Structure 1
Amino acid sequence: MKYDDASWHYGGEFPSDLPDEAGATHTGMYVAWALLSGLAGDIHIIDYPEDIQRLQERSVTPGAFFLSACDGKFTNEDLTDEGNAFTSWYFDFEKGQYLADYEATFGQSLPEGPNSLYYVTDSWDSFDKLRPVLDMRLLEWRSPAG
């Protein structure tokens, strides 16, 4: 199952002043967090352990990692069973909370407009702002009341 694909975000109402890579930042942040949080599927752990190492070392930004290591595609193969269960609940663009949390974390510092979230900088500083929110959501989901 494919959760997201960076190519889905290019064109249309995508901001013309941004490079296509900006369409990968929001998913790259989530994928990097998931892989660094122990939710990496076997494809990364067994077949490409250097992927996790590059993230741990922060030698590549989350969006750039997503584009290079995942070819801009986020699928169920990237995650463990628990990672997929959480992602199905949280990341889903129609019923999940991820984009609302992403907007709450970054929205105030971005230009106004319907596609302003594409302006989030693909950086470890941005990741460090978002990570506590994602950690909290995972803990909520894991809790018996979640």
Structure 2
Amino acid sequence: MKYDDATWHTAGNFPSELPPEAGATHTGMFLAWALLSGLAGDLHIKDLPQNIPLLQSRQVTPGEFFLTACDGKFVDEDLNAEGNSFAALYFDLQRGSYIHDYEKILAKGLPGAYHVPDTWESFDKLKPYLDKRLNQFRTMPT
């Protein structure tokens, strides 16, 4: 299953003043957080074990990582079972609240969500909210 693809964001109403890479920032932030939070799937643990250390050392930004290590595609293989359950509810671009949270936390005062800088500073602002959402998810009745 494909949750997101950076190419989905660079057409239509995408801001002409931004590079196409700006369409990957929101997903890169979520995926980097998930991989650093113990939600990584075997793809990043067994098949591509170099990926998580790249993020841990902050050698690349979250958006850069998403574009280079994942070819701009966020798929179910990126996450473990818990990560996929969480992403299906929270990240879902149509029904989830991730984009709303992302915009509320990072896009204040900016022309739009695509203008959020792909930086670790942005990631650090977003991380506590993602941690909170995951904790809420973990305490939901099954």
Q: Same fold (TM over 0.5)?
A: yes
- Alpha-carbon deviations, 1:111-138, whole Å to 9, x = none? 2xxxx10000000000000000000000
- Alpha-carbon deviations, 1:43-101, whole Å to 9, x = none? 11111111000000000000000000000000000000000000001001111110110
CA distance in 2, matches of 1:135, 1:11: 31
Residues 1:104 and 2:104 aligned together: yes
CA distance in 2, matches of 1:30, 1:144: 20
TM-fit CA distance, 1:109: 2.8
Q: 1:16 matched to which residue of 2? A: 16
Q: 2:53 matched to which residue of 1? A: 53
TM-fit CA distance, 1:12: 1.2
CA distance in 2, matches of 1:144, 1:68: 34
**Range with greater deviation from structure 2 (92-101 or 74-83):** 92-101
TM-fit CA distance, 1:144: 4.0
Percent identity over the alignment is 61
Structure 2: gaps spanning 5 or more residues: none
CA distance in 2, matches of 1:94, 1:144: 21
Q: 1:37 matched to which residue of 2? A: 37
The one-letter amino acid of 1:54's match is L
RMSD: 1.1
Q: Residues 144 and 23 of structure 1: is their aligned pair in 2 closer, same or farther, counting only changes over 3 Å?
A: closer
Q: 2:120 matched to which residue of 1? A: 124
Q: 2:135 matched to which residue of 1? A: 139
Q: What SS is found at the alignment partner of 1:74?
A: strand
Large movers: runs of 4+ above 2 Å: none
CA distance in 1, matches of 2:93, 2:11: 18
The size of the alignment, in residue pairs, is 142
